[in-house]
Amino acid sequence: MSAIKKLFGIVWSLMGIGIVPMVIMQAMKEIAAKPSEENWIFWSIVIVVLMPIIAFSLIIFGVFALKGEYDVIK
Amino acid sequence: MAQNVRNVSQTEEVSSTRRVIAASSVGTLIEWYDFYIFGTLAKIISEQFFPKDNPTAALLATLATFAAGFVIRPFGALFFGRLGDIIGRKYTFLVTLVIMGGSTFAIGLVPGYKTIGFFAPAIVFVLRLLQGLALGGEYGGAATYVAEHSPAGHRGFWTSFIQTTATLGLFLALGVILIVRQTLGVETFSDWGWRIPFILSSLLVGVSVFIRMKMSESPMFVKMKKEGKTSANPLAESFKQKDNLKMVLIALLGATAGQGVVWYTGQFYALSFLQNACNVEFVQSNLIISIALLIGTPFFIVFGALSDKIGRKYIMMAGMIIAVIAYRPIYTVMYNEADLKTKTEVVEKTTVEIKEAVKGTDNVTTTVTKKTFADGTTYKETKNETVPLDAAKKAELAAAGKLKPETKKETTLPQAIYYKMIGLVFVQVLFVTMVYGPIAAFLVEIFPTRIRYTSMSLPYHIGNGVFGGLVPLISTRLVEATRPAPGLPPADPLAGLWYPILIASVSFVIGMLYISNKTNNMDVE
């Protein structure tokens, strides 16, 4: 079980890292195609609020998991 | 004799816990009520406070304000959580109640955009932020306070009463809005009647503050303070110490994020879907949600109590995975049941009424089409076409593509489908009760008393506020992305479900892998 937890740690970290360029590129693509106010509002919320939370928490969580911090949970 | 003394002592303990639950729950319920009337009245608030030139932008602006209310919640969790761990639970969540009540009352008094222009949305925005800040401090305090009064082995049961308040708060908000709307009529309600639910809040908050003033501080906190063991810096202790930070992360990613999206899908998205995708009439759609919420609410307590016996983890995870699997089939049935294309129209009952009137410098043509279908469904379409009397202005607007009529579609479902819809929403509420019923006990048990308020509040409000609170915005966007062209129906009206499905799936995997199923491991001494 510990090995699986550690292995998934890599997955979480990679997901956290991968989400940043993916979201930014999608935002740029959509805003370039239609630079409307609603597009700006939507992507600002996603980039400023949602993306950092997902990225940071997944990366740190993944690193902890990889280091075996969750092998024994109280 | 000794047995009698023990029985009397146990009875007093239960009675005292009940008082604590009642006092905490009433206040939390009112805070949720305050918070939800804004969301429920999003369309009217959009019309009152945001420029009407672009209805989609106005609605999005409201949703953004709504989201801001959610996004600010984690900051409230940090601010009030810190206070609660330093000065105590009781006074902190008394302050949050007063801030929430004051902001809600004030929203009810703000003049509209027509009267004070840009100040109107600006003031509403600030008040909404204050609401979010207060709510961020309230829940963690109430859950911690109740858990610290509850006997070991029954925390899931007792804290589940706090868990019912969010749903009951929404129920109360829908109920008050429906009653006021029905009493005053749609036009008066849209004009000024919508302010009543906001103003009414001051009365409810007053009663709740009075009740809370009489409550005593949490026994665990009092003991800790006496021994001088309170934390000097709960924020640093919660988020800079690895042992706590890793629990904050697991609580967020493995529990509250998934719980947040399941919660919002089952209650808010369901309502939005009924009204916007299925065009179900306002009163009927609100009744469907209200009845489903009412029938589903006792299950918070059922699953909370069950978590004391079999552990928190498996109930929460089961709720998440069943929701992930069942969402698309449930919403497909909901959509199909209301889809007029699949129904047979009783043509001889169709009526079309056209009225023309001059309003100011415009000519307004109102076309009301009423249709009846073989299964008893009725449909009403009201099309308002406003055309300037001035030919030059008319040509200018036509060239800019701004002469589109406003269309309102209302479908009233027959009884059999109406009950089926209640059943389908109830099933979603059941998922909510599974993930949400045991979560307060789960959160309070994984953090130590000295930093509990701070540590549990942040993951809860990020999970619910950010992941869950953004469900309406992101789901609306996902559906819009499938619309082939403006004015045409979306290719996949269920596309909005992909966001909660994805988040709940990731949360399920993390929860299953990393969360412990132990119960009652609360560090209290």
Residues B190-215 pLDDT 10s: 889 999 999 998 888 888 888 888 88
Q: According to the model, what pLDDT value does residue B434 have?
A: 97
For residue B253, which residues of chain A lie inside 8 Å, CB to CB? 12, 57-58, 61
Are residues B355 and B451 located together in one domain of the fold? no
For residue B250, which residues of chain A lie inside 8 Å, CB to CB? 61, 70, 73
Is the pLDDT reported for residue A2 higher than 60?
yes
For residue A38, which residues of chain B lie inside 8 Å, CB to CB? 56-57, 60
Are residues B393 and B492 located together in one domain of the fold? no
State whether residue B515 sits within 8 Å of chain A by CB: yes
Is position B440 within any domain? Answer: yes
Predicted complex: ipTM over 0.85: yes
For residue A58, which residues of chain B lie inside 8 Å, CB to CB? 253
Is the pLDDT reported for residue B502 higher than 60?
yes
Averaged pLDDT for residues B235-260: 93
Averaged pLDDT for residues B145-162: 89
Is the pLDDT reported for residue A1 higher than 80?
no
Mutate one of A6, A26, A42, A60 to test the B interface: name it (highest B CB count within 10 A). A42
Are residues B229 and B218 located together in one domain of the fold? yes
Structural domain spans, chain A? 2-66
Structural domain including B355 reads: 347-412
Q: Give B230's pLDDT tier (boundaries 50, 70, 90).
A: confident
Are residues B475 and B381 located together in one domain of the fold? no
For residue B62, which residues of chain A lie inside 8 Å, CB to CB? none
Q: Which of B253, B467, B509 sits opposite A61 (nearest CB)?
A: B253
Q: According to the model, what pLDDT value does residue B54 have?
A: 54
Strands (E), B329-399: 351-359, 362-372, 378-388
Say whether B462 and A53 touch across the interface (CB within 8 A). Answer: yes
Question: Between B2 and B412, where is the model more confident?
Answer: B412
How much of chain B exceeds pLDDT 70, in percent?
92
Nearest-CA distance A32 → chain B (Å): 15
Q: Range with the lowest mean pLDDT among B59-73, B433-447, B457-471?
A: B59-73
**Of B214-228, B339-353, B399-413, highest mean pLDDT:** B339-353
Q: Which of B95, B24, B90, B70 is nearest to B461 (CA)?
A: B70
State whether residue B478 sits within 8 Å of chain A by CB: no
CB B299 within 8 A of CB B494: no
Are residues B270 and B187 located together in one domain of the fold? yes
State whether residue B249 sits within 8 Å of chain A by CB: yes
Is position B522 within any domain? Answer: no
Say whether A60 and B462 touch across the interface (CB within 8 A). Answer: no
Residues A37-51 pLDDT 10s: 778 888 988 998 899
Say whether A12 and B510 touch across the interface (CB within 8 A). Answer: yes
State whether residue B521 sits within 8 Å of chain A by CB: yes
Q: Annotate B302-330 with three-state secondary structure.
A: HHHHHHHHHCHHHHHHHHHHHHHHHHHHH
Residues B116-126 pLDDT 10s: 877 888 888 88
Are residues B37 and B97 located together in one domain of the fold? yes
Q: According to the model, what pLDDT value does residue B337 have?
A: 95
Averaged pLDDT for residues B409-419: 96
Averaged pLDDT for residues B7-14: 62
Is the pLDDT reported for residue B134 higher than 50?
yes
Q: According to the model, what pLDDT value does residue B57 have?
A: 53
* Pairwise CA distance, residues A28 & A33, whole Å: 8
Q: Give B61's pLDDT tier (boundaries 50, 70, 90).
A: low
For residue A37, which residues of chain B lie inside 8 Å, CB to CB? 54, 57, 60
* Pairwise CA distance, residues B270 & B40, whole Å: 12
Is position B462 within any domain? Answer: yes
Question: Between A52 and B14, where is the model more confident?
Answer: A52
Mode of pairing for the β-strands spanning B378-388 and B351-359: unpaired
For residue A65, which residues of chain B lie inside 8 Å, CB to CB? 514
Give pairs for B55-60: CB < 8 Å, separation 24+: B55/B406, B56/A38, B57/A36, B57/A37, B57/A38, B60/A37, B60/A38, B60/A41, B60/A42, B60/B473
Are residues B385 and B439 located together in one domain of the fold? no
Is position B408 within any domain? Answer: yes
Q: According to the model, what pLDDT value does residue A40 have?
A: 85
State whether residue B504 sits within 8 Å of chain A by CB: no
Q: Annotate B230-276 with three-state secondary structure.
A: CCCCHHHHHHCCHHHHHHHHHHHHHHHHHHHHHHHHHHHHHHHHHHH
Are residues B125 and B177 located together in one domain of the fold? yes
Is position B138 within any domain? Answer: yes
Is position B145 within any domain? Answer: yes
What contacts B414, CB < 8 A, 6 or more positions away? B375, B376, B377
Is the pLDDT reported for residue B251 higher than 90?
yes
Q: Range with the lowest mean pLDDT among A30-39, B34-43, B233-242?
A: B34-43
The dihedral sign for the CA sequence B209, B215, B218, B222: positive
Is the pLDDT reported for residue B362 higher than 90?
no
Is position B7 within any domain? Answer: yes
Q: Which of B56, B249, B462 sits opposite A60 (nearest CB)?
A: B249
Q: Give B185's pLDDT tier (boundaries 50, 70, 90).
A: very high
Q: Give B91's pLDDT tier (boundaries 50, 70, 90).
A: confident
Say whether B253 and A58 touch across the interface (CB within 8 A). Answer: yes
Q: Which of B67, B230, B256 is nearest to B143 (CA)?
A: B256
Are residues B278 and B379 located together in one domain of the fold? no
Residues B306-324 pLDDT 10s: 999 999 999 999 999 999 9
Which residues of chain A are at the B interface, by a Cβ-Cβ cutoff of 8 Å? Answer: 4-5, 8, 12, 36-38, 41-42, 45-46, 49-50, 53, 57-58, 60-61, 64-65, 69-70, 73-74
Is the pLDDT reported for residue B326 higher than 90?
yes
Are residues B194 and B206 located together in one domain of the fold? yes
Q: According to the model, what pLDDT value does residue B204 have?
A: 86
For residue B470, which residues of chain A lie inside 8 Å, CB to CB? 45, 49-50
* Half-sphere exposure at residue B351, Cβ-oriented, CA atoms within 13 angstroms: 7
Task: Kindly state the DSSP code that residue B348 receives in the 8-state scheme.
Answer: G
Tokens of B36: 């939800």
Residues B158-180 pLDDT 10s: 999 998 988 888 889 989 998 99
Is the pLDDT reported for residue B442 higher than 70?
yes
What contacts A49, CB < 8 A, 6 or more positions away? B67, B71, B466, B470
Question: Between B19 and B241, where is the model more confident?
Answer: B241
Nearest-CA distance B212 → chain A (Å): 34
Is the pLDDT reported for residue B10 higher than 70?
no
Q: According to the model, what pLDDT value does residue B298 have?
A: 95
Question: Between A74 and B402, where is the model more confident?
Answer: B402
Question: Between B357 and B6, where is the model more confident?
Answer: B357
Q: According to the model, what pLDDT value does residue B307 have?
A: 94
Instruction: Report the residue of chain A nearest B257, measured CA to CA.
Output: A54
Is the pLDDT reported for residue B4 higher than 80?
no
Please, what is the average pLDDT of chain B?
87
Residue identified by tokens 């699949």 is: B342
Is position B521 within any domain? Answer: no
Say whether B446 and A74 touch across the interface (CB within 8 A). Answer: yes
| Domain termination residue (choose one: B380, B412, B444) | B412
Q: According to the model, what pLDDT value does residue B525 have?
A: 41
What is the separation of C-alpha B287 from the centre of its chain, rounded to a whole number of angstroms? 16
CB B473 within 8 A of CB A42: yes
For residue B516, which residues of chain A lie inside 8 Å, CB to CB? 73-74
State whether residue B252 sits within 8 Å of chain A by CB: yes
Are residues B154 and B237 located together in one domain of the fold? yes
Say whether B57 and A12 touch across the interface (CB within 8 A). Answer: no
Indicate which CATH number applies to the domain containing B454: 1.20.1250.20
Q: Give B524's pLDDT tier (boundaries 50, 70, 90).
A: very low
Mutate one of A2, A13, A34, A53 to test the B interface: name it (highest B CB count within 10 A). A53
Say whether A49 and B67 touch across the interface (CB within 8 A). Answer: yes
Nearest-CA distance A50 → chain B (Å): 7
Q: Give B64's pLDDT tier (boundaries 50, 70, 90).
A: low
Are residues B142 and B265 located together in one domain of the fold? yes
Instruction: Report the residue of chain B nearest A52, measured CA to CA.
Output: B466
Q: Give B148's pLDDT tier (boundaries 50, 70, 90).
A: confident
Q: Give B411's pLDDT tier (boundaries 50, 70, 90).
A: very high
Give pairs for B118-123: CB < 8 Å, separation 24+: B120/B48, B120/B49, B121/B49, B121/B50, B121/B61, B121/B65
Q: Give B60's pLDDT tier (boundaries 50, 70, 90).
A: low
Q: At what angle do helices A2-33 and A51-66 cross, to 10 degrees?
A: 160
For residue B477, which residues of chain A lie inside 8 Å, CB to CB? 42
Tokens of B434: 């599974």
Nearest-CA distance B160 → chain A (Å): 22
Mutate one of B46, B56, B60 to test the A interface: name it (highest A CB count within 10 A). B60
DSSP bridge pairs for B409: B381
Is the pLDDT reported for residue B504 higher than 80?
yes
What domain count does chain B have?
A: 2
Nearest-CA distance A1 → chain B (Å): 8
